Chains A and B, each alone.
Chain A
Amino acid sequence: MNDPVAFVAGMKLLGAGLAMLGAIGAGVGVGIAASGGVQAMGRNPDATPTIQTNMILGMAFAEAVAIYALAVALIIIFAA
């Protein structure tokens, strides 16, 4: 607390780390999407192209949340 500059810098890193908590949900979501996709492909291999496309689409949407968290973290560290 004696050095306000160091304090702010440390708090920035802490905040960036906390922002990345958002990646938890995205990780779970991507995992669920992949598990569902693989199960579906195992049951019905003929439908693989359709399932794969939709799976990647769903994973991209789930991953977007993690990317937002990452963008916030990067902005906290480098821009704010």
Chain B
Amino acid sequence: MIEEKTKKRVPVKRWIVIALVIAGIYAAFIGPSILKPISPVVVLPGEPTGLAIGGFQITNTILATLIADVLLLLLGIGAARFHASGKKVPSGIYNAFEAIVEFLWNSVVGAAGKWARRIFPVVATIFLLIFMANMIKLVPGFESIGKLKEVHEGTGFAPVELFKIGSLSVFTIDKGQPHEAEEHAAEGEAAAAEGGEGHSAEASTEICTACEVVPFLRGSATDLNFPFALAFIAVLMTQVYGVWAQGLGYFEKFFPVRQLVRGGPFGAINFAVGLLEVVLEFAKILSFGFRLFGNIFAGALLLSIVGALTAVVVPAGLYIFEVFFGIIQAYVFFLLATMFISGALVSHHSSEEHH
């Protein structure tokens, strides 16, 4: 694309990279302890950000999901406007968007055939949302900018004032000054309560002595609610498409009453197998939910631990790994949903008779 530019390039980027690496080494190993990289807090439930609609607390994971939603909507509106403008060849980000959508479309067509047009909106939306949520989770500032909070267990760190913007003072926490929590501290869980590099936006409320950072934004999939909601939607839509394609006969799969009445002993066995199918539907929700959650949460955990151990080159490689995993997990979720839905479209019963 940029052939002319590459010929007369000045090696400026490599110097920037080297300067950044040196700055990273300085901050991590040599410099004052405020600059030390700090692992983010690892907790299972999303923490409330303080915002609320009515009585409904908005947690940081919800906020991140909303941002992903808004970005997707903007992308969708942009793509629609682009389509309306009549240009045939998309450029820039729409080119990538088109490639993704085309790839998804081909996958769905391969799995579901003529039902692809009806299935595509559901599964593609799931893919795009997970993809977007996994990608914006890696933006710097996620999981590291937030409010300071007193630690109740384990070790917190002393806050240090960095600068003031108007009446807002911005703090970071000093890794060189660990403070045990006031209350009873279980030593084994000290790692769970370590703080992230935090910038408190609180004006002049009381400042904690042993602090951790409650981030404003955290990756959506690190909260169990996000993957489980999507899993629930996927499995529910499986039933919906099953009924759409086969009518009420779809439920023969779960409760083969006719076989129980007519089939004799094997009918009874088939009925029991049908009941197992019901359990299987719930197992699908669990498996969907835990797969996404486990991968993304483990990724966040890995980044925080490795970032605290070796702060300089290794986390960059892991970030690439995380990008890859974000895409793969979104694709796996999408693929499994497509497979389950297209499996529900064909009759269980008739396919058995073909054997």
Contact = CB atoms under 8 A, between A and B. Distances in A.
A12 B111 CA distance: 44
A78 B284 CA distance: 25
A44 B31 CA distance: 57
Contacts of B42: 78
Contacts of B110: 49-50, 53
A71 B186 contact: no
A60 B325 CA distance: 12
Interface string B75-116: 000000000000000000000000000000001001100000
Contacts of A68: 290, 294
Residue from B44, B291, B293, B328 with most neighbouring chain A CB atoms (10 Å): B291
A70 B335 CA distance: 22
B50 interface: no
Interface in A33-51: 49-50
B188 A67 contact: no
A12 B44 CA distance: 17
Contact of B192 (A49, A63, A77): A77
B331 A71 contact: no
B187 interface: yes
Contacts of B294: 67-68, 70-71, 74
A64 B186 contact: no
Give the secondary structure class of B's interface. helix
Give the secondary structure class of A's interface. helix
Contacts of A6: 186-188
Given A56-B332, A60-B336, A10 B291 contact: no
Contact of A64 (B44, B189, B290, B335): B290
B335 A53 contact: yes
Contacts, number: 57
Given A49-B110, A71-B290, A78-B192, A60 B295 contact: no
A5 interface: yes
Nearest to B298: A70
A78 B188 contact: no
Contact of A60 (B186, B293, B301, B335): B335
Interface string A59-73: 010011001101100
Given A10-B188, A71-B293, A78-B42, A60 B298 contact: no
B287 interface: yes
Bin the interface of chain A by size. 20 to 34
B157 interface: no
Contacts of B20: none
A9 B186 contact: yes
Interface string A1-13: 0000110111011
A24 interface: no
A21 interface: no
A57 interface: yes
B291 A57 contact: no
Residue from B43, B186, B188, B332 with most neighbouring chain A CB atoms (10 Å): B188
A64 B287 CA distance: 7
A70 B293 CA distance: 10
A57 B331 contact: no
12 contacts: A9-B186, A9-B189, A10-B188, A49-B110, A53-B107, A53-B335, A56-B328, A67-B295, A74-B297, A74-B298, A74-B301, A78-B192
Given A49-B110, A53-B110, A78-B42, 17 more contacts: A9-B188, A56-B328, A56-B331, A56-B332, A57-B332, A57-B339, A60-B332, A60-B336, A64-B290, A67-B290, A67-B295, A68-B290, A68-B294, A70-B294, A74-B298, A77-B192, A78-B192
Nearest 5 interchain pairs by C-beta? A9-B188, A67-B294, A60-B332, A70-B294, A71-B290
